[in-house]
Structure 1
């Protein structure tokens, strides 16, 4: 039997998972990841709700509130970013400040969980799922600082790390395609856009039915195919232009000087990518300054 094509999770986040009828899919993924029975109360406004001429290249994020009034931010990111960890720190900090009403005590600060689905290699490590939380450990006795009884009553939590932001990093491309548990079944889907018959993770059954490409209306299916083509084109442009530019720059550098040759090829790469990438990514790929990229955009 031929495999049924399923919609990628990022497209589903943009178009389908915002509907209350499909909350079960997102709840299943979050429940398996967080090892908890997650219930979504509502979808909150987030950056990816907006649509513009460059929407097909935006990172995809979704912000939800669960039954414990915690805010979970789910983000799908394709492009490599050296400062990605600082960006998600900024993102959680912004959510905290946005949801603390004026004149309210710090005890009302919202708990934020940042879930990051990454299709690029971030840092060095052997695992494909990483979890980060805040723990205060004694430098002399190595004991972990805990809440007093009064603080437990105030916060409604037993452990200090439960009031601080938490981070989950899923390095999809590092997954070896061997599903050893129910979370792995979800990661297999994130990587391969396929759900095997024997998979039993929470939410996957509805995902297999709802995210079937063939069930999309014709207009939606065409838009999805275009979105996928754009992702492939973008990746190809970055890969080809960067490596070809470096080679040509080195060749020209033999006659005109390496520095000048590399600079000219960086400018040429930037011109080729100016309509498909944002300024920050172009700067990372070419080494050009923001001013140099701005001049290219101005023609």
Structure 2
């Protein structure tokens, strides 16, 4: 068994997957395409913000020979489907400045790795930008794609080429991996690069910061969910009170109805007017 840092931390994920050979091997297995790169940028941003939002790409690589951009995003957000769609479109729109027409010079692929899972519980989901006819047949006009993958939901139908990567990512989350279960050289290289005894003080500081940010975000989500439940209960109680009051309009006077239901006299008067 190896003691490793969890790939749920962005700093650790970038440390592992910013290695060009690991990046290209991962892209090959997930997207089925070969790319030629000599470096991977982390926290990539464009000189001029697109759409007045300065996006930062976790991992960004450009293959100028095969005319492909691949960015890998990591981390779960409440709005991750929309957020990374925006990032993907930013990588497309940034090319429009120098393009002769609206066709970007480079094909853009985005891979989003949701290490914490997702409410839909799918191992993968896809946004395919190619136009389709009414039978779902693609026209082959637009190759750009976004692939969302959730290692937590690996199943029997998950593509074989993906399996070891998803297993490795998920296996790292408890900070212990049995490296003998893995055979891909680049997966072994991922484990070697995130061993706990190789972490720098800067790595550990970033991990602590991310942990604190995640805890704060979780508290905010919990508060929002609790507020939603309370508002739902209050709304349900109000609907019930209105139903009771509506049935009493022809039986009791307004003051008595208000006392029994907790409604205001104004609300009861509005009910009487609506039921005339």
Bucket of the pairwise TM-score, normalised by the shorter protein = 0.5 to 0.7
Q: 1:31 aligns with which of 25, 28, 32?
A: 28
| In structure 1, C-alpha distance between the alignment counterparts of 2:204 and 2:138, rounded to whole Å | 55
The 3 A distance-change label for structure 1 pair 184 and 63 is: same
Q: How does 1:54-65 map to 2 (within 5 A)?
A: 61-65=58-62
Compute the RMSD of aligned alpha carbons: 3.9
User: Residue 72 of structure 2 contacts residue 113 of structure 2 at CA under 8 Å; is this kept in 1?
Assistant: yes
Question: How far does residue 74 in structure 1 lie from its aligned partner after superposition?
Answer: 1.1
Residue matched to 1:262: none
Aligned residue number for residue 242 of structure 1? 224
Among 185, 188, 192, which residue is 2:171 paired with? Answer: 192
* Gapped regions of structure 2 (runs ≥ 5): 47-54, 239-276
Q: Specify whether residues 170 and 85 from structure 1 end up closer, same or farther in structure 2 by C-alpha distance, changes over 3 A only.
A: same
**In the alignment, which residue of structure 1 is the partner of 2:212?**
230
Aligned 8 A contact 2:57 2:87 in 1: no
8 Å contact 1:179–1:185 — kept in the other structure? Answer: no
What's the counterpart of residue 3 of structure 2?
A: 4
Within 2, Cα distance between the matches of 1:227 and 1:213?
A: 17
Say if 1:71 and 1:113, in contact at 8 Å, map to a contact too.
yes
Relative to structure 2, which stretch is displaced further, 174-183 or 93-102? 174-183
* Aligned match of 2:267: none
Instruction: Say which of 102, 105, 126 aligns to 1:131.
Output: 126
Choose which of 67, 70, 79 in structure 1 pairs with 2:68: 70
The equivalences for 1:169-180 within 5 A come to 169-175=148-154
Cα deviations by residue, 1:195-247 (Å, 9 ceiling, x for unpaired): 64121235101111111121113x13531441353255235413543355456
Do the aligned partners of residues 112 and 101 (structure 1) sit closer, same or farther apart at CA in structure 2, a change above 3 Å counting? same
CA distance, structure 1, for counterparts of residue 128 and residue 230 of structure 2:
45
Superimposed CA distance per residue, residues 118-160 of structure 1 (whole angstroms, 9 cap, x where no aligned partner): 23425x4x64112332444444xx49465xxxxxxxxxxxxx2
Residue matched to 1:91: 87
Mapped to 1, the partners of 2:130 and 2:189 lie a distance apart of: 37
**Alpha-carbon distance between aligned partners in 1 of 2:154 and 2:146, rounded to the nearest angstrom:** 19
Would you say the 8 A contact 2:39–2:61 is kept in 1? yes
**Structure showing greater Rg:** 2
TM-score by length of 2: 0.63
Aligned length: 223
- Matches of 2:157 and 2:180, distance apart in 1: 14
